[in-house]
Amino acid sequence: MNIYLVGGAVRDRILNITSKDNDWVVVGATPEELIDAGYKQVGADFPVFLHPKTQEEYALARTERKSGHGYQGFSVDFGKNVTLEEDLIRRDLTINAMAQDENGNIIDPFNGQQDIQNKILRHVSHAFCEDPLRVLRVARFAARFHHLGFRIADETISLMQHISASGELKHLTAERVWVETQRALHEKSPWVYFDTLKKCQGLKDTFTELDELFGIPQPEKHHPEIDTGLHSLLSLEQASLLSHEGDVRFAALMHDLGKGKTNPEKWPQHIAHETLGLKPIKAMCKRLRVPNAYKELTLKTCEYHTHIHRAFELKASTILKVLKQCDAIRKPERFAKLLLACEADAHGRTGLENTPYPQAPFMQRMLDACNQVNNQDIVATGVTGPELGQAIEQARLKAIAKQKELEKQSS
């Protein structure tokens, strides 16, 4: 029995990056031998074991052969005679197909170290095409390592395009698509994930509603980049500078889906795109089983981002209406995220990335003014029933109007 550290842990050591997890491969052993040694089996599709002390994952060396559609359409052999190289060749990228033995020696049969040096993301073998999930995984690694200067090899992009053209992406489960996407949203450069999917024609079978935005024009006066799809990616890029939260980044990316539903005869105008976008957002989130926190923030951002952009033009009554409909008083943390997504939208325009966005702190101050109203003081006056709610609303309206006047005087 021989045990090797494999995959991302080896890659990250070479890159001098702290790795979260260690993965190990066991060569020349059977499940029974590991169980007898105190390991606990947890793998359902193939034997994966937890170390009795460290609880790290140890997998038997295995080979895979395509036997069906999608991510799970494989037959697996984890026999005692499977070699380390046979295990490594089934992996996605050369930088993930290295191993390290107990003496610290690197086993690198597919030149992963050279590709790290050259900053190339390259597939290991043609077996790459057998697993459609690898299109999303490579796009995620592109997002992770973009800031280090990594790029995807041309021949790997070609294989990703081949997988997309085959229709195999349609067989991926919603859970797998979302797991990769959520991870990508938390990477250093999340927009690269979606840009890569677009370049390999994989966006249309995963995020159809977003794919439809590319090629749709916007008024050049407000959007020098013109293309709505490009604006969406730029908004995500800006969101990643403002927040590490995945839901903020997702909301910024998807806030303009309604522009894919406006009448082409009206282009480049997009009247009522705020409400037109609600239906495709709901459809996408349902199809991909997007968490409610992501969905609700995206819906609110879609519907109210133009209200926030025009905050200084709004009457006190309209501001209160927006705060209520965004549920800002009950959910101030989510409203703060909405303001970040709106700021990302405003900055996600070519040449306007550093434009001040005073609307966000202004709307936050309006909310703060609302929250200064003491409901118990109003209750103490003896008002009850429907009149109580009306009295609270009038007090909030008065507080917003007073704050607006103070800001007008100080400007």
Per-residue pLDDT tens digits for 132-179:
999 999 999 999 999 999 999 999 999 999 999 999 999 999 999 999
Neighbours of 390 (CB within 10 A): 11
Percent of the chain exceeding pLDDT 70 equals 97
**Element of type H or E holding 388:** helix 385-410
Reply yes or no on whether the pLDDT at 44 is more than 90.
Answer: no
CATH 1.10.110.30 matches 132-203:
yes
CA dist., res. 25 & res. 56, Å (int): 11
Record the pTM: 0.92
pLDDT tens-digit series, residues 62-108: 887 765 554 555 567 788 889 999 999 999 999 999 999 999 999 99
pLDDT tens readout for residues 239-280: 999 999 999 999 999 999 999 999 999 999 999 999 999 999
Q: Quick one: tokens of 377? A: 């003081």
Tell whether domain 1-111 is in CATH 3.30.460.10: yes
CA dist 228 and 217 (Å) reads 6
Provide the residue ranges of all domains of the chain, joining segments of one domain with +.
Answer: 1-111, 132-203, 207-371, 374-410
CA 275 to chain centre: 23
Asked whether the beta carbons of 82 and 27 are under 8 A apart, the reply is yes
Which of 85, 105, 117 is CA-nearest to residue 10?
105
Separation between Cα atoms, residue 285 and residue 257, nearest integer Å = 12
Collect all residues with Cβ–Cβ distance below 8 Å to 142 and sequence separation of at least 6: 121, 150, 151, 152, 192, 193, 196
